[in-house]
Structures are given as C-alpha cells and as structure tokens.
C-alpha cells in the first residue's frame, strides 16, 4: 500500500476531506493539518500544544511573577487568554523571542513567559516552533512516514511551517492544490490549480436590515433543500465579515430548525458558559445588586463548586424590589427571609460566603471564577 499525506486547513476542511476519502474508498491516505503533519514526522508521543495545554501553563507562568512590564497586569481577568493569543501569533510568525528579548522590556517578559510555558507543558506537548524543529530533525524519515505530501486548498501557510515544507520538498513529492490568492513564491513544490466552474449569474435581493437578510438567506437555503436542487453540504452562506449577521443567524436558524454550521465559530456570549462569565464580570465590575446576583446564581446553582448544593428556590422571601447594593443589606435581607421561610432550610451558609467574595470586586476575579463558575465556564474565564 502506497502511503500519502493530504494537508488541509481547519476542522471543517478536515472533516469534509475525511468524508471524501471514505466515499472514494481511498486507501493509504492520511489527512492532517500542518501541526499534525509535523507531529507525525517528529514521532513518538509528540503532539502540538492545544489551548487546554497552554492555558494552565501560561497561568502558572504569570503567577510566578518577576516581570518588568507586565507585573502590574499579570493577574487581571483575561490575561491568560491574551498571553496565549500573543504567543501563538509570535510562534506562527516564526519570531524568536529568545533572540530578540534584549530589544524591549515587553519582549523580555514574553520570553520569560515562553520559557516557563515550555517547562510547564506536559511531556511530549510542544509549541509550534519546537514542534517544527523536532520535525526538521526527522525529515530523512519522511518518505516512509508521510509519502507524497499534498496541501489541499490551504489558503495560506504560516511562516513557522515554511522551513519544514522546504525541507520536505527535497525528499518527497510536494504539491499545493488550489492555493487561492496566497503568495506561493517561497513554495518549493508543484502548484496545481483546478479549473474553476463558470460562475452563475447573480440574483440580487435587497433587504432593509441584517435580520431581513438572514431571513432571506434561510428561505433560499430551505428552498434549495426542499426542491432537491442542492444537498445541505453543497450550500454555503458567506460574507466578507460576518459580525453583523452572526447573532441573527444564530437565533433564526435555531427557530427555523436548520442546523447551520458556523465554520468561523460562534461568540462566547451565545453559549450558556459565556453568559455565566458575563454575569460574574457584571457583578465584580458594577457591584452587588439583586438583579445581578440573581442572574449569576441562576447560572451557578448546581454547576459551580461554591453553589453546587444551592436550590433554585434560594431567593424565596427576598423582596423583588428590595435595594440590595451592599453586603450588610444582603445579610439583613437573608436573615429576614430565613425568618419567614416555612421549610426551615437555611440558605445563608451557602450564599453569604459567595456574596462576601463577590463584594471584593475585580481583585477577587480569579478566586470568584474558580468557585462560582462551572468547569466549561472556568475555561473561558481564564
């Protein structure tokens, strides 16, 4: 059996290429992304670092402190995610922090975080630059491990992977199918472009607002499917920038019963976990109020460490219009509510410690997220 490797870009392209391989009964083909290809060539139990690996490692690196430029902001909410985004961009650009750390205090801090992250990652888990270097050392094994390599509709290749592809071109057949408009002058392999079909004449529908546009798009989708003119996997609703339509598409597609796949992802606030994070941030930034606390506890009850045993009826006896903006006001209101309750269940031992934590504001963001959010929401909060 002749082995060959097809490289795709993104999870959607990965799943679609798997379906094509299954339908065509392709044997000996392995479908990967560029990080997976590098890990396959590096061998052993090596794999690329994912967000669930990077986030704890970066969090530990920030907690260690000792920074010049970032010391005052290292414990702020969202700092872990911001540092992960920055490091990922630098790694993908093949930017050596160790070589450039002397140029500024910010780069020196980032180099320190990078070094700590590399130490904190689990065994066999590598950042993209380390993974690329490990794969380069095993390029002579590429004919047996990878076979011919084809980049299939990969829009662009990050600079970090280009040296690996240049090295592969010297030992295995390397091709890039349909690179699109990406610059390919650096590419050492063969570039192949399929003949594109003649575009159909466009039909224009004018709408008054983004919501109306989404309604028309979903009508068009349903018509194509119901008439048999197209299968669901052949239909795409596109825009150069989707932000104006995302929220309407999420709501209307659900109401219409159409399982639309968002290839670019969905906003965190569209999920229950994102709403829980927003509710906690609202309380920490704007202070205690009955509406804010009720909203947060509605998400946290039964899902968080501190409020796992909190029943949905915890607020019985609290006056809906009561002005509860201070911790002492909450204590008195909970005492009065307990005195009026007939079931005798005391909510104060559960609720009061959480209110005391929330009253500390943004300074308690990390502890509050750990105690008041569920597992999935904690991953977003970090």
Query: Is residue 1 scored above 80 in pLDDT?
Result: no
Mean pLDDT of all residues in 244-260? 89
Query: Is residue 153 scored above 70 in pLDDT?
Result: yes
| CB 35 within 8 Å of CB 131 | yes
Task: Tell me the two tokens of residue 189.
Answer: 């392999």
pLDDT of residue 279: 92
Mean pLDDT of all residues in 36-49? 93
Question: Using one digit for the tens of pLDDT, what is the confidence trace for 208-243?
Answer: 999 999 999 999 999 999 999 999 988 999 988 888
**What are phi and psi for residue 165, nearest 5 degrees?**
-65, -35
| CB 300 within 8 Å of CB 310 | yes
Query: Is residue 128 scored above 90 in pLDDT?
Result: yes
Task: Tell me the two tokens of residue 77.
Answer: 């909410």
**What are phi and psi for residue 309, nearest 5 degrees?**
-95, 5
CB within 8 Å of 164: residues ≥ 6 apart: 38, 132, 135, 136, 139
pTM: 0.66
- pLDDT bin (cut points 50, 70, 90) of residue 198 is confident
Where along the chain do its domains lie? 4-46+130-192, 62-117, 210-266, 272-381
Question: Using one digit for the tens of pLDDT, what is the confidence trace for 3-20?
Answer: 899 999 988 889 889 988
Q: Report the CATH architecture of 4-46+130-192.
A: 3-Layer(aba) Sandwich (3.40)
Among candidate residues 33, 43, 48, 45, the one with its CA nearest the CA of residue 137: 43
Mean pLDDT of all residues in 152-166? 94
| CB 160 within 8 Å of CB 182 | no
């Amino acid at each position: 059996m002749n082995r060959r490797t097809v490289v795709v870009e993104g999870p959607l392209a990965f799943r679609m290429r798997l379906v094509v391989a299954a339908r065509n009964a392709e044997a000996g083909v392995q479908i990967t992304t560029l990080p997976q290809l590098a890990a396959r060539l590096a061998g052993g139990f090596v794999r690329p670092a994912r967000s669930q690996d990077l986030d704890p490692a970066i969090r530990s690196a920030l907690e260690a402190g000792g920074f010049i430029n970032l010391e005052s902001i290292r414990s702020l909410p969202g700092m872990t995610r911001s540092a992960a985004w920055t490091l990922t961009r630098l790694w993908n650009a093949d930017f050596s922090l160790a070589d450039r750390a002397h140029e500024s205090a910010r780069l020196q801090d980032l180099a320190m975080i990078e070094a700590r992250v590399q130490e904190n990652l689990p065994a066999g888990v590598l950042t993209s630059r380390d993974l690329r270097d490990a794969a380069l050392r095993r390029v002579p094994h590429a004919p047996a491990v990878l076979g011919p390599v084809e980049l299939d509709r990969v829009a662009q290749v990050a600079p970090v992977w280009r040296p690996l592809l240049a090295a592969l071109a010297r030992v295995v057949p390397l091709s890039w199918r349909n690179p699109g408009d990406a610059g390919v002058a650096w590419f050492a392999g063969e570039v192949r472009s399929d003949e594109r079909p003649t575009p159909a004449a466009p039909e224009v529908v004018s709408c008054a607002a983004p919501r109306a546009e989404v309604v028309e798009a979903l009508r068009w989708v349903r018509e194509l499917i119901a008439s048999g003119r197209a299968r669901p996997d052949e239909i795409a609703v596109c825009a150069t920038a989707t932000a104006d339509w995302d929220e309407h598409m999420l709501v209307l597609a659900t109401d219409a019963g159409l399982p639309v796949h968002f290839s670019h992802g969905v906003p965190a606030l569209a999920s229950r976990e994102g709403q829980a994070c927003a509710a906690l941030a609202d309380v920490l930034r704007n202070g205690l109020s009955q509406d804010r606390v009720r909203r947060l506890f509605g998400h946290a009850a039964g899902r968080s460490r501190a409020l796992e045993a909190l029943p949905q009826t915890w607020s019985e006896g609290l006056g809906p219009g009561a002005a509860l903006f201070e911790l002492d006001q909450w204590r008195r209101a909970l005492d009065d509510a307990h005195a009026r309750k007939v079931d005798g269940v005391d909510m104060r031992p559960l609720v009061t410690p959480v209110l005391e934590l929330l009253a500390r504001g943004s300074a308690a963001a990390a502890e509050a997220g750990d105690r008041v959010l569920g597992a999935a929401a904690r991953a977003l909060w970090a």
